Amino acid sequence: MKTRRIDNYGKINRDKILSFRWDKKNYKGFEGDTLASALLANNIGIVGRSFKYHRPRGIFSSGVEESGALVTIGSKDRRDPNVRATTQELYNGLEASGQNAFPNVNFDLAGINNYLGRFFAAGFYYKTFMGIPPLEWGKGTAIWMFFEKFIRKAAGMGSASGLPDPDTYEHAHDFCDLIVVGSGPAGVAAAVEAAEKKLDVILVEQDSLIGGNQLAENDFDNSQIKNQLENLGIKIMTRTTAFGLYDNCVVGLLERVTDHISAPNVNIPRQRFWTIRAKHIIVGAGAIERHIAFNNNDIPGVMTVNASKHYLNRYGVLTGKRIVIATNNDSVYETAHQLSEAGANVTVLDSRTNFEIETNKSFEIRKGYVPYNINGSKKIDSLDISKSETINKSETINCDQVLLSGGWSPAVHLLSHRGVKPKWDYNNACFLPSDTKENITMVGSSRGLWNKNDCIASGIAGTTDALNRLGISKTNYFFPKPGGWKNPIQPLYEVKYKKSRSKSFVDYQHDVTTDDVRLAHREGFISVEHLKRYTTLGMANDQGKMGNIIGLSLMAELLNKEIPEVGTTVFRPPYTPISIGALSGRNVGKHFRPLRVTPMHQWNIDHGAKMIEVGLYQRPWYYPKENETLSDSYIREASTVRKTVGICDVTSLGKIAIQGPDSTEFLNRIYSNGFSKLQVGKARYGIMLRDDGIVMDDGTSWRLAENEYFMTTSTGEAAKVMSWLEELLQTRWTDLNVNVTSVSEQWAGVSVAGPKSREVLNNCVDDSLVITNNNLPFMGVTSTFLKGNIPCRIARISFSGELAFEVYVKSDFANTMMDLLWANAKKYDGCLYGLEALGALRVEKGHVTAAELDGRVTIDDAGLSKMASTKKSYIGSAMRKRGVLKNNDREILVGFFPTNLKETFNAGTIVCEKNNIKGQGIGRITSVTYSPELGHWIGLGFVKGGLDKWKDTNLVGADPVRNKQMDLKVVSPHMIDPKGERMYA
Residue type, 381: D
Q: Helix or strand or coil: residue 18?
A: strand
If one asks whether residue 275 binds another protein (CB under 8 A), the answer comes out as: yes
> What residues does 970 pair with on adjacent strands?
896
**Looking at residue 730, what DSSP letter applies?**
I
Question: In this complex, which beta carbon is closest to another protein, that of residue 246 or of residue 477?
Answer: 246
Total chain residues near another protein (CB under 8 A): 28
If one asks whether residue 572 binds another protein (CB under 8 A), the answer comes out as: no
- The answer to whether 778 and 767 have CB atoms below 8 angstroms apart is no
Report 896-925 residues binding another protein (CB under 8 A).
Answer: none
How far is Cα of residue 834 from the mean position of the Cα atoms in its chain?
A: 36
Question: In this complex, which beta carbon is closest to another protein, that of residue 453 or of residue 730?
Answer: 730
Residue type, 981: E
Segment near another protein (CB under 8 A); pick from 7-15, 503-511, 697-705, 721-729: 721-729
Question: In this complex, which beta carbon is closest to another protein, that of residue 349 or of residue 688?
Answer: 688
If one asks whether residue 421 binds another protein (CB under 8 A), the answer comes out as: no
Q: What is the dihedral of CA 130, 136, 137, 143, to 10 degrees?
A: 0
Segment near another protein (CB under 8 A); pick from 199-207, 330-338, 384-392, 729-737: 729-737
Question: How many residues are present in the chain?
Answer: 985
Q: Helix or strand or coil: residue 440?
A: strand
> Which one of residues 8, 26, 223, 248 is an interface residue with another protein (CB under 8 A)?
248
Q: What minimum distance in Å lies between the beta carbon of 669 and another protein? A: 6
Question: In this complex, which beta carbon is closest to another protein, that of residue 85 or of residue 420?
Answer: 420
C-alpha to C-alpha distance for 525 and 518, rounded to whole angstroms: 10
> Which one of residues 25, 149, 361, 437 is an interface residue with another protein (CB under 8 A)?
437
Q: What minimum distance in Å lies between the beta carbon of 239 and another protein? A: 24
If one asks whether residue 246 binds another protein (CB under 8 A), the answer comes out as: yes
Q: What minimum distance in Å lies between the beta carbon of 31 and another protein? A: 39
Q: What minimum distance in Å lies between the beta carbon of 594 and another protein? A: 12
If one asks whether residue 578 binds another protein (CB under 8 A), the answer comes out as: no
If one asks whether residue 172 binds another protein (CB under 8 A), the answer comes out as: no
> Which one of residues 230, 726, 745, 854 is an interface residue with another protein (CB under 8 A)?
726
Question: In this complex, which beta carbon is closest to another protein, that of residue 857 or of residue 955?
Answer: 857
- The answer to whether 533 and 324 have CB atoms below 8 angstroms apart is no
Residue 407's alpha-carbon distances to 368, 488, 736, 929, in angstroms, are: 16, 11, 69, 72
> Which one of residues 442, 835, 875, 894 is an interface residue with another protein (CB under 8 A)?
875
For residue 4, report the phi and psi dihedrals to the nearest 5 degrees.
-95, 5
Residue 505's alpha-carbon distances to 294, 476, 774, in angstroms, are: 7, 46, 90
Which residues lie below 8 Å from residue 643, measured CB to CB, with a gap of 6+?
754, 755
User: Measuring CA to CA, which residue among 697, 622, 4, 750 is closest to residue 344?
Assistant: 4
**Looking at residue 502, what DSSP letter applies?**
-
If one asks whether residue 887 binds another protein (CB under 8 A), the answer comes out as: no
Report 17-56 residues binding another protein (CB under 8 A).
Answer: none
If one asks whether residue 250 binds another protein (CB under 8 A), the answer comes out as: yes
If one asks whether residue 417 binds another protein (CB under 8 A), the answer comes out as: no
Segment near another protein (CB under 8 A); pick from 223-231, 421-429, 708-716, 722-730: 722-730
User: Measuring CA to CA, which residue among 720, 703, 718, 713 is closest to residue 664?
Assistant: 703
Segment near another protein (CB under 8 A); pick from 212-220, 744-752, 870-878, 975-983: 870-878
**Looking at residue 483, what DSSP letter applies?**
B
> Which one of residues 559, 878, 934, 961 is an interface residue with another protein (CB under 8 A)?
878
Residue type, 544: G
Question: In this complex, which beta carbon is closest to another protein, that of residue 194 or of residue 249?
Answer: 249
- The answer to whether 215 and 310 have CB atoms below 8 angstroms apart is yes
C-alpha to C-alpha distance for 604 and 622, rounded to whole angstroms: 10
Q: What minimum distance in Å lies between the beta carbon of 55 and another protein? A: 42
If one asks whether residue 247 binds another protein (CB under 8 A), the answer comes out as: yes
> Which one of residues 224, 267, 734, 915 is an interface residue with another protein (CB under 8 A)?
734
> What residues does 295 pair with on adjacent strands?
373, 504
The pairing of strands 401-405 and 322-327 is parallel
If one asks whether residue 965 binds another protein (CB under 8 A), the answer comes out as: no
Question: In this complex, which beta carbon is closest to another protein, that of residue 663 or of residue 668?
Answer: 668
Report 188-217 residues binding another protein (CB under 8 A).
Answer: none
C-alpha to C-alpha distance for 574 and 271, rounded to whole angstroms: 15
Q: Helix or strand or coil: residue 464?
A: helix
User: Measuring CA to CA, which residue among 868, 830, 507 is closest to residue 674?
Assistant: 868
> Which one of residues 394, 723, 773, 953 is an interface residue with another protein (CB under 8 A)?
723
Other C-beta atoms lying within 10 Å of the C-beta of residue 628: 16
> Which one of residues 468, 815, 877, 906 is an interface residue with another protein (CB under 8 A)?
877
> Which one of residues 277, 378, 387, 964 is an interface residue with another protein (CB under 8 A)?
277
x/- contact string, 658-697, with another protein (CB under 8 A)?
-----------x---------------------xx-----
Segment near another protein (CB under 8 A); pick from 33-41, 87-95, 561-569, 871-879: 871-879
Question: In this complex, which beta carbon is closest to another protein, that of residue 33 or of residue 697?
Answer: 697
Residue by residue, DSSP assigns 39-107 as: HHHTT----EE-TTT--EE----SSTT-SS-EEEES-GGG-EEEEETTT-B--TTEEEE--S-SEETTE
Q: What minimum distance in Å lies between the beta carbon of 895 and another protein? A: 32
Which residues lie below 8 Å from residue 735, measured CB to CB, with a gap of 6+?
none
> Which one of residues 262, 362, 730, 865 is an interface residue with another protein (CB under 8 A)?
730
Question: In this complex, which beta carbon is closest to another protein, that of residue 96 or of residue 249?
Answer: 249
Q: Which residues of 182-217 are buried (b: 16+ CB within 10 A; e: fewer)?
A: bbbbbbbbbbbbbbebebbbbbbbbbebbbbbbbbb
> Which one of residues 625, 881, 914, 951 is an interface residue with another protein (CB under 8 A)?
881
Q: What minimum distance in Å lies between the beta carbon of 275 and another protein? A: 7
- The answer to whether 267 and 259 have CB atoms below 8 angstroms apart is no
- The answer to whether 805 and 795 have CB atoms below 8 angstroms apart is yes
54: left (phi over 0), alpha (psi -120 to 50) or beta: left
If one asks whether residue 879 binds another protein (CB under 8 A), the answer comes out as: yes
> What residues does 750 pair with on adjacent strands?
649, 807
Residue type, 15: D
Q: What minimum distance in Å lies between the beta carbon of 652 and another protein? A: 19
Question: In this complex, which beta carbon is closest to another protein, that of residue 40 or of residue 276?
Answer: 276
Segment near another protein (CB under 8 A); pick from 52-60, 148-156, 247-255, 824-832: 247-255
C-alpha to C-alpha distance for 556 and 558, rounded to whole angstroms: 5
Question: In this complex, which beta carbon is closest to another protein, that of residue 78 or of residue 421?
Answer: 421
C-alpha to C-alpha distance for 829 and 616, rounded to whole angstroms: 32
Segment near another protein (CB under 8 A); pick from 83-91, 242-250, 364-372, 836-844: 242-250
C-alpha to C-alpha distance for 692 and 883, rounded to whole angstroms: 11
If one asks whether residue 476 binds another protein (CB under 8 A), the answer comes out as: no
If one asks whether residue 731 binds another protein (CB under 8 A), the answer comes out as: yes
Question: In this complex, which beta carbon is closest to another protein, that of residue 252 or of residue 286?
Answer: 252
> Which one of residues 732, 827, 914, 951 is an interface residue with another protein (CB under 8 A)?
732
Segment near another protein (CB under 8 A); pick from 2-10, 792-800, 821-829, 876-884: 876-884
Site residues (CB under 8 A) for another protein? Answer: 246-248, 250, 275, 277, 437-438, 669, 691-692, 719, 723, 726-727, 729-732, 734, 873-875, 877-879, 881-882
